[in-house]
Structure 1
Amino acid sequence: MTIYVCSKSSTFFNHVDNALSEGGVCQLSTMTLLPASEPGDVCIVHLSSFSDKEIHTFVRSDSFAPAVVALADDVPSLVNLLTASEGGAKAYFNSYMAPQHYAQVIRLLEAGGSWFPPALLREVFALAKAGDAQLRDSAVELEKLTVRERELAEFVAEGRSNKEIALACNISERTVKSHLTSIYEKLGVKDRKGLMALLSYRPASA
């Protein structure tokens, strides 16, 4: 197994090299195709060495296939964790974590596993739970509307103006305003923005 370290930082490379002294570690200064990458190889990409544009392009490509990709970040964040996951990375961690942790993560990747920071994963789960609760609440609220009101609410969610809604429903703008006033009262929102925020959590079938 070869471990490729894609980084422009000699400090980071030396940290990884010292942590993984038992295996062959090779430094790459650009995110290009790996030389003779094989299944079982691991490529550690140092995010802090590259621009957001380079990283965005990288995570949507298979430049390092068939090597397993792990992303190292000087300041781990929820945004970068999600980027790593969406891009198919098998691990995301602090660039300068303890040497023994590097060895543990590499062994885990060799065994076909993955690793992400527990604290950030808990944050993801908390956000997902909150989103599910809001989705359920919005679904219950929408049940209060008539069929016509729900139709108008959907048009508002699409960003249509009162004039556009009136034309689509073959009613007057005054009638649209009247319906919207009723919708705001039933759903407990103050205005159009509040309605759009509530509907952003609605189920796809609503």
Structure 2
Amino acid sequence: MLRLLLVDEQRMFVEALTQYLSTESDLWVADSSYPSETDLLERARIAWPDIAVVDIAVLGTRVHEVLRRLEEVCPDVRVVVLTSTVDSDLAVRAARAGAAAWLPKERGISELVEVLRLVGRGHAWYPPEVLGEVLCALRREAGPAGTDHDPLAVLSVREREVLAVMAEGKRGRQIAAELFISVQTVRKHTRGILTKLNVHTQLEAAMLASSGGEMPALAETAVRALPR
């Protein structure tokens, strides 16, 4: 069961969403708030959610700083950002900060539930209307393929090991068993890999690693085995 923290300025929205999610057997709202930044961090520390669902209005232009502090308080949490407007600049900032998903509220609660389950399985999700700009921005920062820049230089030794096993098509528990670490540690390293490499999915991480020449057989395996 996924533990959720809901953070939104609109009390009615949070209450309606909490009531809807109570009917889903695999989702549990551990806490909710109508917040200040301090309240968000404190509630995350106590609730220790798997996923924090946060309205972009709470984060504003300080999205990177707030999400960085949230990760310090609760390292394993994955963030789904809700938005009432289409703002590709804020979407890029959220992606840079490591947000796993960016979902317009107009998409509806049923689609939110699907996204929560995807994120809970380690995937990421951004809508088509902002995805292009997000990917372009992150690709520019990652640097062009075929240069002398090693895209894996930012990764720790353990993160490289996790990425190598991930590229074989193995998932959380399998990676944990092979590397003799906990599933939570795998999730933490996976998030670190995606954030440091400035990508959204495990497939992109594997492809970027392959383009740097560090893992020669990575790309073909990744295309066959990893989620898209």
TM-score band, normalised by the shorter chain? Answer: 0.5 to 0.7
SS at match of 2:102: strand
Q: State yes or no: 1:7 paired with 2:11.
A: no
Structure 2 matches for 1:50-199, cutoff 5 A?
50-53=59-62, 55-61=63-69, 62=71, 63-124=73-134
Deviations 1:25-79 (A, max 9, x none): 22122321411415xx1101111235434x3421333134211111111113111
**Residue 32 of structure 2 corresponds to which residue in structure 1?**
27
> Does the residue aligned with 1:32 lie in a helix, a strand or coil?
helix
* Amino acid in the other structure paired with 1:27: S
Aligned-partner residue type, residue 21 of structure 2: L
The aligned counterpart of 2:57 is: 48
Alpha-carbon shift at residue 120 of structure 1 (Å): 1.2
| Separation in structure 2 between the aligned mates of residue 5 and residue 77 of structure 1, nearest angstrom | 21
Structure 2 Cα separation of the partners of residues 67 and 12 of structure 1? 22
Unaligned runs of 5+ in 2: 141-228
Using a 3 Å threshold, how does the CA distance of structure 1 residues 126 and 65 change in structure 2: closer, same or farther? Answer: closer
TM-score, length of structure 1 as denominator length:
0.53
Q: Give me the whole-angstrom Cα distance separating, in 1, the residues matched to 2:5 and 2:86.
A: 20
SS state at 1:31 partner: helix
TM-aligned CA distance change 1:36 to 1:13, over 3 Å: closer
Contact 1:74 1:95 in 2 (8 A): yes
Displacement of 1:2 = 1.2
For the 8 Å contact 1:37–1:65, the answer to whether it is kept is no
Q: Is the 8 A contact 2:54 2:81 kept in 1?
A: yes
Structure 2 Cα separation of the partners of residues 82 and 117 of structure 1 = 12
Name the CA distance, whole Å, in 1 between partners of 2:109 and 2:6: 15
How far apart, CA to CA, are the structure 1 residues paired with 2:95 and 2:113? 21
Three-state SS of the structure 2 residue aligned to 1:60 is helix
Shift of 1:4: 0.4
CA gap 1:7/1:111 in 2 versus in 1, 3 angstroms:
same
Unaligned runs of 5+ in 1: 132-206
Cα RMSD over matched residues?
2.7
2:81 aligns to what SS in structure 1? strand
Q: Tell me which moved more, 29-38 or 94-103.
A: 29-38
CA distance in 2, matches of 1:92, 1:58: 16
